[in-house]
C-alpha cells in the first residue's frame, strides 16, 4: 500500500465537512430477513444541524472527539469515523494518515443517524483530503459495508430508501427549507432492541410521492415500550400546535415536528423548553 497523497492545498489547510443529522420522516418495516436485517421503506431527510468533522495532515490515523456528546460517542477503534477512514484507505490501496477531529453535537443512540452521518462525512472529507476525487457512487459502495444508513448519509439529500435502507431513489416532493424541531427526552435507545420488539406485521409500503401525514413509523410502539418518555414527547409536540407533522425518527428516542415557518417552530420550542429535554431547531436541506 502506498502513502496517502497530500496536495499542496491539503498540506496547508485544515479541511472541514458537515455531518448532517439524518431523519426518517416515515419508516415502514416489511419483513425480517434471514441475514438479521429488516427489509424496510423509508423517507430520509437531513438537517442543517449536525456534527462537524475536520482533518489535518498527520503521519498516522487518529481521532479526537469533542462536543456535547463526545463521551457517549467514544474515540476508540470502533468509532465509525475510524472505520470509514480505514475502509476508504483499503479501497484506495493507501495507508490512511490523517488527524481527524469530530465535534459531536448529535445525541448518541437517538434515531438521528449520528454515527452513520459521521462515517459518511469521513468518506467525503478524506476523498477530498487524499485527492481521490471519487464520485459519490463509489463512496456509497464503501458506505454500504459500514451501516444501512451510511449510503443515504453520503448523499445527505431527501430520498426514498428501501432494502436495508441502502437502495436509494429520488423523493419527488420538495422539502428543503422546512423548519424542524428535534426533541429527545435524554434517553438513549439502542436500535437492536427496538427492531426486536416489532410485531412483524407488514402494514404496507410507501407510495412514492405520498403525503407524509398518511405514512407512519412502524418502530414507534416498540420504542415507546422501551422508553415511555417518547410518548410524552410526541404528545407535547402535538399539544404545542402549529406542526405539519409530528413523528418519531428512526428507532427513537428523538422525535421531530415539521413547521411551515420559523415562528411556529420557535413557538413550539419555547413551549417545551422547561421540561429538561434536549431540543434543536433547524431546517431540512
CB 177 within 8 A of CB 284: yes
End-to-end CA distance of the chain: 38
Could you tell me the three cell numbers for 145? 459495508
State the catalytic residue, choosing from 118, 149, 218, 269: 149
Backbone angles phi, psi at 166, to 5 degrees: -90, -20
Backbone angles phi, psi at 134, to 5 degrees: -75, 145
Rounded to an integer, what distance in angstroms lies between the CA atom of residue 95 and that of residue 80? 18
For residue 284, give the DSSP letter.
Answer: B
9 is catalytic: no
Rounded to an integer, what distance in angstroms lies between the CA atom of residue 92 and that of residue 207? 38
149 is catalytic: yes
State the catalytic residue, choosing from 22, 103, 104, 269: 22
Q: Which residues are catalytic?
A: 22, 149
Amino acid at each position: 500500500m502506498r502513502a496517502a497523497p497530500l496536495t499542496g492545498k491539503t498540506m496547508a489547510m485544515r479541511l472541514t465537512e458537515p455531518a448532517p443529522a439524518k431523519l426518517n420522516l416515515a419508516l415502514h418495516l416489511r419483513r425480517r430477513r434471514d441475514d438479521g436485517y429488516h427489509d424496510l421503506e423509508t423517507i430520509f431527510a437531513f438537517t442543517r444541524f449536525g456534527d462537524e468533522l475536520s482533518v489535518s495532515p498527520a503521519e498516522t490515523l487518529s481521532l479526537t472527539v469533542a462536543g456535547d456528546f463526545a463521551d457517549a460517542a467514544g474515540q476508540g477503534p470502533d468509532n465509525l469515523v475510524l472505520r470509514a477512514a480505514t475502509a476508504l484507505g483499503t479501497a484506495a490501496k493507501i495507508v490512511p494518515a490523517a488527524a481527524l477531529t469530530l465535534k459531536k453535537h448529535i445525541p448518541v443512540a437517538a434515531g438521528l443517524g449520528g454515527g452513520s452521518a459521521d462515517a459518511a462525512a469521513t468518506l467525503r472529507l478524506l476523498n477530498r483530503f487524499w485527492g481521490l476525487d471519487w464520485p459519490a457512487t463509489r463512496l456509497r459502495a464503501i458506505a454500504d459495508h459500514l451501516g444501512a444508513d451510511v449510503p443515504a448519509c453520503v448523499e445527505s439529500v431527501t430520498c426514498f430508501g428501501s432494502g436495508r435502507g441502502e437502495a436509494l431513489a429520488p423523493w419527488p416532493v420538495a422539502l428543503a427549507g422546512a423548519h424542524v424541531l428535534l426533541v429527545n427526552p435524554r434517553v438513549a435507545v439502542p436500535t437492536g432492541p427496538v427492531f426486536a420488539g416489532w410485531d412483524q406485521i407488514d402494514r404496507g409500503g410507501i407510495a412514492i410521492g405520498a403525503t407524509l401525514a398518511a405514512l407512519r413509523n412502524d418502530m414507534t410502539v416498540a420504542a415507546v415500550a422501551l422508553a415511555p418518555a417518547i410518548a410524552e414527547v410526541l404528545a407535547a409536540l402535538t399539544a404545542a400546535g402549529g406542526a405539519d407533522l409530528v413523528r418519531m425518527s428512526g428507532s427513537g428516542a428523538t422525535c421531530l415536528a415539521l413547521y411551515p415557518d420559523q415562528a411556529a417552530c420557535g413557538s413550539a420550542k419555547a413551549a417545551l423548553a422547561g421540561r429538561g429535554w434536549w431540543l434543536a431547531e433547524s431546517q431540512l436541506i
